């Protein structure tokens, strides 16, 4: 059996890696250090923001905004930023 090669310089969820490997594909991946992961999250945020911009209907908009929330939650869960700092900043700027 011949395998096709492709490169994907993107963040993948653990479940997707498991599913692809379960299908018989061979995956080579790199576990990112904290700084690399933070930089990739920034790229992911930009990618999702572009998809929000390109959304064509309400459902697509909702799905893409949910993806942005997932990225924000990743920033929080990885302790890159705190939810308290985000909430405080949001509240502060909302008052201006």
Number of domains in the chain: 1
pLDDT digits (tens, 9 = 90+) for 74-86: 999 999 999 999 9
- Cα(44)–Cα(10) distance, integer angstroms: 8
Residue 86 forms part of a structural domain: yes
Which domain does 43 fall in, by range? Answer: 30-95
Residue 79 forms part of a structural domain: yes
pLDDT in the model for residue 21: 85
pLDDT digits (tens, 9 = 90+) for 4-14: 777 777 787 77
Residue 1: pLDDT band with limits 50, 70, 90 = low
Residue 12 forms part of a structural domain: no
Closest by CA position to 48, among listed 14, 84, 75, 85: 75
pLDDT digits (tens, 9 = 90+) for 16-61: 888 888 888 888 888 899 999 999 999 999 999 999 999 999 999 9
E strands, 9-86, in order: none
- Cα(16)–Cα(13) distance, integer angstroms: 5
- Cα(15)–Cα(58) distance, integer angstroms: 28
Residue 7 forms part of a structural domain: no
Residue 53 forms part of a structural domain: yes
């Amino acid at each position: 059996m011949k395998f096709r090669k492709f490169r994907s310089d993107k963040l993948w969820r653990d479940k997707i890696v498991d599913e692809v490997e379960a299908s018989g594909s061979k995956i080579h991946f790199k576990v990112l250090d904290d700084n690399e992961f933070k930089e990739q999250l920034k790229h992911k945020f930009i990618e999702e923001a572009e998809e929000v911009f390109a959304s064509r209907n309400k459902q697509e908009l909702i799905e893409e905004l949910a993806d942005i929330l997932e990225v924000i939650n990743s920033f929080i869960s990885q302790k890159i930023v705190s939810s308290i700092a985000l909430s405080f900043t949001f509240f502060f700027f909302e008052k201006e």
